Amino acid sequence: MAAIGSVGAVLRSLQTAQDVGKAIREAGYVLSRDDMRRQLADLSGSVSEAKLQLTLLKEALDSKDEELRKLERTLSFKQILRRRGDGYYKTLDGRPYGQPYCSYCWESEHKAIHLHSKIFSKDVRQCPHCKNEYQTGRTPYLEADRLAI
């Protein structure tokens, strides 16, 4: 499983950095060379850890943003789709039109896959994704022109 970063880890790293500052202040800003080296190592390590955790958090946020955009696209598409016969169709004023989408793919994965006419058979349509077959009579192409009054 990939690391996803943690706000708690960032806060702990920043606390360590703050503790280093406090230790230097309490020493009256005068430290031995070894103490200074140790404090700087702690400070550098905690800043590096905070940067790593923030990078991981940014990647996780970007991934969630993409997931939200995908859900938003699916939701807006869902609002204009309607089942008719064995397929799903886009709608115009609530009336289905155009080429049918595979009902299995839409209902199981929210993938809008157009059905294709099967070669050498006018009676069967097939989904190129799941390979389910449908009767052409139950999944006709619906002319959008008929929607005009």
Query: Footprint of Zn ion on this chain (CB under 5 A)?
Result: 102, 104-105, 113, 127, 129-130
**Nearer to Zn ion among residue 12 and residue 83 (C-beta):** 83
d(CA 124, CA 111): 21
Q: Report, in Å, the least distance between residue 129 CB and Zn ion.
A: 5
Nearer to Zn ion, 97 or 106 (CB): 106
To Zn ion, the closest distance from the beta carbon of 106 in angstroms equals: 8
Q: Which is nearer to Zn ion, 20 or 113 (CB)?
A: 113
What minimum distance in Å lies between the beta carbon of 79 and Zn ion?
21
**Shortest Å, Cβ 132 to Zn ion:** 5
- Nearest of 72, 38, 50 to residue 5 by alpha carbon: 50
CA atoms within 13 A on the CB side of 118: 15
Q: Reduced to 3 states, what is the DSSP secondary structure of residue 98? A: strand
Q: Please, which residue, 46 or 103, has the CB nearer to Zn ion?
A: 103
Choose between 10 and 113: whose C-beta lies nearer to Zn ion. 113
Burial of 106: CB neighbours in 10 Å, binned 0-12, 13-18, 19+: buried
Sheet hosting strand 87-92, strand order edge to edge: 81-84, 87-92, 95-102
Q: How far apart are CA 34 and CA 53, in angstroms?
A: 28
Q: Minimum distance from CB of 133 to Zn ion (Å)?
A: 10
